[in-house]
A and B are shown apart, each in its own frame.
Chain A
Amino acid sequence: MNDLVQLASLAPLLALAGAIINGLFGRSLRGNAPGVIASLAVAAGFVLSLIAFLGVRAGGAVRVRFGDFLVAGDLNIGLGFHFDQLSVLMMLIITGVGLLIHIYSIGYMQGDDGFSRYFAQLNLFVAAMLVLVMADSFPLMFVGWEGVGVCSFLLIGFWYKDLKNASAGRKAFIVNRVGDFGFLLAMFLTFKAFGTLDIQAVNAAAPSFAYGAAILTGIGLLYLLAAAGKSAQLPLHTWLPDAMAGPTPVSALIHAATMVTAGVYLIARTGGIFANAPSAAATVVWVAVLTALMAAIVAIGQTDIKKILAWSTISQVGFMVAAVGAGAYWAGIFHVLTHAFFKALLFLGAGSVIHALGGEQDVRKMGGLGRKMRVTGTTSLIATLAIAGVPFLSGYFSKDAILGALLTSSPLGNYGGQILFALLMVTAGITAFYMFRWYYLVFAGEPRSSAEYERAHESPAVMTVPLGILAVGSVLIGYVGLPAFLAPNAIQEWLAPVMAHVDFDHLNTSAEWMLLLGSVLVAAVGLGLGYWVYVIGSGELAKRIGNTPLANASRGAFGIDRLYRGLFTEPGEGLAEGVASLDRDVVDRGLTGVSGAVPLLGRLLVLLQSGYVRAYAFAMVLGVLALAVVAALIGVLA
């Protein structure tokens, strides 16, 4: 059994092989071959993950070590993978959703020049992400962490010939770097505190550390910084909306389903530390909730079909991070699971629309497309309802779990747990509102641009079949996490062995029902508000709302980008310009000056060669006089 599980170690290698094949030989392969190869690699990975899942289900966690990774002095880190309930679950998400997106991409990237390059990079991403979740030590996780960062950069700037795309990729990488810095510092501190960088060992040792010790809090906060970078939380969220410059399947896979959830995974993995550093955990929740609220407000004012979804992702990841911060690690991972389905579906649906309209992304030019694109429209509707928290769909259950955790988390109670709960409820309502807006503006109502409407057509099967599969998932996957007081909560029980222990208050049954119904109410209010503004009020009310200060703040994303620009980018550019001009004017001029001095010197010396005997004679006289003076001085001094 153990051997079968260990077989899953091949998964990243297969993806890597796919990347290398496509990278080196992709250009000479005909037709869709690169896409098929890449999809096969990921499919194989999915099968291996499934085997690992079944193996862990039967026999518990498995660890495999391949040798030494870093051995220096007191540091002894092995190269190894750790297959437990959490990591195989993540592996399934990555390879499963990844496979669907790969297949979809075959249709979406049809005819693109960089077809093989795209699949090579996408496979590379899958490999890195798998390493990230399978790693048994922090440095190896960091390898995967960096790897996904690089692939994100490459894929965002996929159409690099347009400077905007390249800049977006660069921005993503640099902002991520700040998070990586946090990761590194956290690793250093972890080694200092625990003497080891093995994840399991650290988690085991954490409880015996002093509760709430400063160093644990420090480590936790630094991991929060890392997670904020990767998962686009405040203050490092600015890269995600810009990242929409990449191809839409990339946005679906990396910036919805997997990479942005790496931060959630990190905090869940280091649960032992956070469980014993309540102030750090509380900071996590506060950051996450504020991010979620802010992002939801901003999403209302966006006009790009993908940017709305990007801000929505920031908001939803905020939900997940809030959950893991509050100690309900299983709830956060549960939302990762459901979000992977419906957000990927939303993005792929948007991609289908963009593909059909030949590149148009402005929702103000869309409308009524649901009539012409039946599959896309229907699946997008399902996804919209799921994310809004409509009961019996997946999003409802996962959101409910998170809200319940915030309310009942015992350590969080000291840090304003109830306020956070209220804020997150409001955010859920806003989510429903802006998602309704998204769906309505794109698929329903009257077409605002007849040219676009005429052009619209349903996408080919290679794109619509994954949409369908994801839609089914968006509906059904929620049932693995039914509320505990009603039915066995499969996912909570599944992840229990891996989760650190945090105290939760117990709600009685009526309170639980109140919570369930409250979520429904919030969703209904949000959707109803959307209906009222857009369907009943059609254009006027929306326009009036659009002129309020809040709307302006929403459209401008609260000016955070401008703030960063003024605080960091412009001084940085100024410094670079200063150094460049220093190099140009001082160093270069100095060098040319030196080289210019030589002819100058030569010209001076030429003056001596006048050819006039008398001048030479004078020179001799001067020389003799000099010698005489020297001789006299020596004579005097001696």
Chain B
Amino acid sequence: MVAFIILAVLLVTAGVGVITLRQPVHAALSLVAGILALAAIYVTLEAHFLAAIQVIVYAGAVMVLFLFVIMLLNVGRTRAASLKWLKPAAWVTGALSLAAVVTVVFVVQQPLPEFAVIDAALRGGNADAVGDALFTDHLLSFHLVGVLLLVGIVGAVALVQQTVPARRTRQGVAQQEPQDAPELVAAGEGN
């Protein structure tokens, strides 16, 4: 319980930081902290494998990518605000929907199974168990995700490719019109 509370506080703080910090790098690092906290929470939820993956993929790759782009684009200061009504509206909407969800979750309670039953039935969330599930029950989804990643790679490369400078056009020799010399000479003699 204590662990949960500490981690929860950490996570929420990180979330708030993401959305309020002015400097983009600060916000990105705040998200990293949040991801790490989230990984710890996964552990408490008996999803150890996923926690590891979270750290490796999310914190290690995705956030690094973010930081690269932030530095690449030199995200600068913001201009004068338009849509002034949006900030308060967003906060209000967020608070209200949060309150609604929390109410629903805590008030409309389904009878949940006992803790002891859960603990015994769960098989530890370790790598080979999840891998088994992925490669047997969810094989199609797994492969589709692979294709999706491939598409993502290709798309990303295509997006950032610089436009190829146009080649200077030159007329091919075969297209040149043949001209007879005597006519040229005759035209010249006419002068």
Chains A and B touch each other in the complex, with CB atoms below 8 Å apart: yes
Asked if A490 is at the interface of the complex by the 8 Å CB criterion, the answer is: no
What residues on B are CB-neighbors of A610 within 8 Å? 83
Cβ contact within 8 Å between B86 and A622: no
Option from B83, B97, B104 in Cβ contact (under 8 Å) with A615: B83
Option from B82, B90, B104, B108 in Cβ contact (under 8 Å) with A618: B90
- Which residue of chain A has the shortest Cβ distance to B89 in the bound complex? A618
Cβ contact within 8 Å between B83 and A612: yes
What residues on B are CB-neighbors of A612 within 8 Å? 82-83
Asked if B93 is at the interface of the complex by the 8 Å CB criterion, the answer is: yes
Option from A614, A625, A628, A636 in Cβ contact (under 8 Å) with B86: A614
- Which residue of chain B has the shortest Cβ distance to A615 in the bound complex? B83
What residues on A are CB-neighbors of B89 within 8 Å? 618
Option from A614, A618, A625, A636 in Cβ contact (under 8 Å) with B97: A625
Cβ contact within 8 Å between A625 and B93: yes
Minimum CB–CB distance from B130 to chain A (whole Å) comes to 30
B: number of interface residues (CB 8 Å): 10
Minimum CB–CB distance from B95 to chain A (whole Å) comes to 12
What residues on A are CB-neighbors of B108 within 8 Å? 636
Kindly state the separation between the CA atoms of A32 and B5 in the bound complex, as whole angstroms: 120
- Which residue of chain B has the shortest Cβ distance to A629 in the bound complex? B100
Minimum CB–CB distance from A622 to chain B (whole Å) comes to 7
Q: A618-B89, A618-B90, A625-B97 known; A632 and B82 CB under 8 Å?
A: no
Cβ contact within 8 Å between B83 and A632: no
Binary interface encoding of chain A residues 9-43 relative to chain B, with 1 for a CB under 8 A from any of its CBs, else 0: 00000000000000000000000000000000000
What residues on B are CB-neighbors of A625 within 8 Å? 93, 97
Minimum CB–CB distance from B85 to chain A (whole Å) comes to 9
What residues on A are CB-neighbors of B83 within 8 Å? 610, 612, 614-615
Cβ contact within 8 Å between A621 and B93: yes
Kindly state the separation between the CA atoms of A325 and B108 in the bound complex, as whole angstroms: 97
Q: What total of A-B pairs shows CB separation below 8 Å?
A: 19
Cβ contact within 8 Å between B93 and A632: no
Kindly state the separation between the CA atoms of A636 and B108 in the bound complex, as whole angstroms: 9
Cβ contact within 8 Å between B93 and A622: yes
Chain B residues 84-117 with CB under 8 Å of chain A are 86, 89-90, 93, 97, 100, 104, 108
What residues on B are CB-neighbors of A621 within 8 Å? 93
What residues on B are CB-neighbors of A636 within 8 Å? 108
Minimum CB–CB distance from A515 to chain B (whole Å) comes to 106
Minimum CB–CB distance from A168 to chain B (whole Å) comes to 71
Kindly state the separation between the CA atoms of A621 and B92 in the bound complex, as whole angstroms: 12
Chain A residues 614-632 with CB under 8 Å of chain B are 614-615, 618, 621-622, 625, 628-629, 632
Kindly state the separation between the CA atoms of A32 and B83 in the bound complex, as whole angstroms: 88
Chain B residues 51-83 with CB under 8 Å of chain A are 82-83
What residues on A are CB-neighbors of B104 within 8 Å? 632
- Which residue of chain A has the shortest Cβ distance to B82 in the bound complex? A612
Kindly state the separation between the CA atoms of A184 and B85 in the bound complex, as whole angstroms: 75
What residues on B are CB-neighbors of A628 within 8 Å? 97
Kindly state the separation between the CA atoms of A49 and B28 in the bound complex, as whole angstroms: 119
Minimum CB–CB distance from A52 to chain B (whole Å) comes to 97
Minimum CB–CB distance from B81 to chain A (whole Å) comes to 11
What residues on A are CB-neighbors of B93 within 8 Å? 618, 621-622, 625
- Which residue of chain A has the shortest Cβ distance to B90 in the bound complex? A618
- Which residue of chain A has the shortest Cβ distance to B101 in the bound complex? A628
Kindly state the separation between the CA atoms of A158 and B97 in the bound complex, as whole angstroms: 83
Minimum CB–CB distance from A610 to chain B (whole Å) comes to 7
Chain A residues 582-614 with CB under 8 Å of chain B are 610, 612, 614
Kindly state the separation between the CA atoms of A353 and B54 in the bound complex, as whole angstroms: 122
Minimum CB–CB distance from A544 to chain B (whole Å) comes to 92
Kindly state the separation between the CA atoms of A632 and B108 in the bound complex, as whole angstroms: 10
- Which residue of chain B has the shortest Cβ distance to A621 in the bound complex? B93
Kindly state the separation between the CA atoms of A632 and B101 in the bound complex, as whole angstroms: 10
Chain A residues 572-587 with CB under 8 Å of chain B are none
Minimum CB–CB distance from B126 to chain A (whole Å) comes to 35
Minimum CB–CB distance from A609 to chain B (whole Å) comes to 13
What residues on A are CB-neighbors of B97 within 8 Å? 625, 628
What residues on B are CB-neighbors of A632 within 8 Å? 104
Kindly state the separation between the CA atoms of A614 and B108 in the bound complex, as whole angstroms: 33
Minimum CB–CB distance from A635 to chain B (whole Å) comes to 8
Minimum CB–CB distance from B110 to chain A (whole Å) comes to 11
Minimum CB–CB distance from A164 to chain B (whole Å) comes to 69
Minimum CB–CB distance from A629 to chain B (whole Å) comes to 8
Chain A residues 497-524 with CB under 8 Å of chain B are none
- Which residue of chain A has the shortest Cβ distance to B104 in the bound complex? A632
Kindly state the separation between the CA atoms of A291 and B4 in the bound complex, as whole angstroms: 113
Kindly state the separation between the CA atoms of A615 and B85 in the bound complex, as whole angstroms: 10
What residues on B are CB-neighbors of A629 within 8 Å? 100
Kindly state the separation between the CA atoms of A612 and B85 in the bound complex, as whole angstroms: 13
Kindly state the separation between the CA atoms of A622 and B104 in the bound complex, as whole angstroms: 18
Kindly state the separation between the CA atoms of A629 and B108 in the bound complex, as whole angstroms: 14
Kindly state the separation between the CA atoms of A628 and B97 in the bound complex, as whole angstroms: 10
Kindly state the separation between the CA atoms of A513 and B137 in the bound complex, as whole angstroms: 139
Minimum CB–CB distance from B101 to chain A (whole Å) comes to 8
Kindly state the separation between the CA atoms of A512 and B108 in the bound complex, as whole angstroms: 118
Kindly state the separation between the CA atoms of A612 and B97 in the bound complex, as whole angstroms: 23
Minimum CB–CB distance from B91 to chain A (whole Å) comes to 12
What residues on B are CB-neighbors of A614 within 8 Å? 83, 86
Closest 6 CB pairs of A and B: A625-B97, A612-B83, A614-B86, A615-B83, A614-B83, A618-B86
Could you pull out 19 A-B pairs where Cβ atoms are within 8 angstroms?
A610-B83, A612-B82, A612-B83, A614-B83, A614-B86, A615-B83, A615-B86, A618-B86, A618-B89, A618-B90, A618-B93, A621-B93, A622-B93, A625-B93, A625-B97, A628-B97, A629-B100, A632-B104, A636-B108
Given contacts A612-B83, A622-B93, A636-B108, 16 further A-B contacts (CB under 8 A): A610-B83, A612-B82, A614-B83, A614-B86, A615-B83, A615-B86, A618-B86, A618-B89, A618-B90, A618-B93, A621-B93, A625-B93, A625-B97, A628-B97, A629-B100, A632-B104
Q: Which residues of A contact B (CB under 8 A)?
A: 610, 612, 614-615, 618, 621-622, 625, 628-629, 632, 636
